[in-house]
Amino acid sequence: MIRIVGAGMVGASLATAMAKQGHSVCLYEKSTWAPSGESDARVSALNQNSLDWLESIGIRPAVHPFKRMHVFAERASSDLVWEDPHSMGALVVNNALQGAAIESAKAAGVQLEYGRSLRWDDGLWVDDVPVQSDLCVAADGARSQLRAQVGLTLQPRDTGQNATFLRVHMDPNFADTTAQVFLQTGPLAFLPVAEDQAVLVWSRDLQAEPLPDSAERIAELAASAFEHRFGRFTALGPATQVALYDGHVSQYHKDGVVLVGDAAHQIHPLAGQGVNLGLADAQALVAAISKRGPGVPALRQYARERYWPNEATRQGMRALQHAFGSPFVPLAALSALVLRTFSYSNTLRRASHSIASGRYNQG
């Protein structure tokens, strides 16, 4: 029996894939899934590798494809644009992906348990009763209790920023374009989730002047920050704000417990890679177990395969955050030069497009 703690996007997807490989799987979550409201602004940008894998295991959430990614900085004279006439990836509401993954897990025969009391003490205990497990997976997020109880530590680093999420009505002419502008106080992302709706994700330094309380005013400021390239934004609900942290465990498994997704690593959301890294974790773990069984050799293979790609992405996000947000003039000038170099080099543009789409995972 493989027991997975956490039925979020990554945990439920992993449970589906494991069950389709013929494993008995039990999936634990605090409460049953329920659809979110129309103003839900928690979204993820799925790259093509993630989309292909989800499709291969029968998880098909409602997604909004995009064909263009537009990046620029307020102090740079050049823009960076990736384009694919078919699709570069798709935006998905996190709640919708979680719901689709849970339904697929049920259809694949996964046993779902809600509201159980879970703890680790030389094995998993459920409602104070020890249960047999061939493998236990911690997919319970950044504040993973299972990770802490088994003795694996992740020390989160405060990025010095928070992120404001806001769903807006937008010009349908830009429905296939995602965008990001690097401001001195932090990056602002534009993520269309429907033909006439987008999510704004505005990461800002804690010492920066706070955004207004009015969601409508935030939408106006965001349109201005984008230099009105994407038209006018109209708020569709209240803005929400969260503190931003990053971190990475040094050890991915211990005593029959293995970590995936945010339980193992956290990164800045500026490039939208968090869920893609988590799904890549799930994909690699399934492949390792399929080849070696749910024992230590498979867990070692999984850890070797995923640690450095996850760490490289985390460090890359930190470098981008500091480079484009730095008030230090030479560093800001260098950032502008890098952006111009990418914009004029077909080789670098092709390479960065491959990374952005997730195809670098294909080997």
For the residues of 144-211, what is the DSSP string, one character each?
-HHHHHHT----PEEEEEEEEEEEEE--GGGTTEEEEEEETTEEEEEEEEETTEEEEEEEEETTSPPP
Q: Domains of the chain, with CATH numbers?
A: 2-157+244-362 (3.50.50.60), 159-243 (3.30.9.10)
pLDDT in tens, 76-104: 556 788 888 888 899 999 999 999 999 99
Q: In what order do the strands lie in the sheet with 124-126?
A: 118-120, 124-126, 129-130
Q: CB count, 10 Å around CB of 149?
A: 16
Tokens of 270: 């500026």
Confidence of residue 324 (pLDDT cuts 50, 70, 90): low
- In this prediction, residue 273 carries a pLDDT of 74
Tokens of 45: 């940008």
Is 14 in contact with 149 (CB distance < 8 Å)?
Answer: no
Res. 353: pLDDT tops 60: no
Q: Residue 78 carries which side chain, given as an amino acid letter?
A: S
Number of H helices, E strands in the chain: 9, 21
Q: By three-state DSSP, how is residue 141 classified?
A: coil
- In this prediction, residue 76 carries a pLDDT of 58
H or E, element range at 306: helix 296-325
Tokens of 267: 């990164």
Which residue from 256, 11, 2, 26 is spatially nearest to 120, judged by alpha carbons?
256
Q: How far is CA 278 from the centre of its chain?
A: 7
Res. 158: pLDDT tops 90: no
Confidence of residue 316 (pLDDT cuts 50, 70, 90): confident
Res. 232: pLDDT tops 60: yes
Q: Residue 201: beta bridge partners? A: 165, 189
Q: Residue 179 carries which side chain, given as an amino acid letter?
A: A
Q: CB count, 10 Å around CB of 250?
A: 10
> What share of the chain has pLDDT > 90, as a percent?
71
Query: What angle separates helix 48-56 from helix 274-292, to the nearest 10 degrees?
Result: 50
Query: What angle separates helix 94-107 from helix 9-20, to the nearest 10 degrees?
Result: 20
- In this prediction, residue 348 carries a pLDDT of 39
Confidence of residue 27 (pLDDT cuts 50, 70, 90): very high
- In this prediction, residue 274 carries a pLDDT of 86
Res. 340: pLDDT tops 70: no
pLDDT in tens, 173-203: 999 999 999 888 888 999 999 999 999 999 9
Mean pLDDT, rounded, for 141-148: 95
Is 74 in contact with 181 (CB distance < 8 Å)?
Answer: yes
Comparing 38 with 101, the larger pLDDT belongs to 101
**pTM for the whole structure:** 0.89
Res. 71: pLDDT tops 70: yes
Res. 332: pLDDT tops 80: no
Query: What angle separates helix 274-292 from helix 296-325, to the nearest 10 degrees?
Result: 160
- Chain length of the chain: 363
Q: How far, in Å, CA of 116 to CA of 358, rounded? A: 36
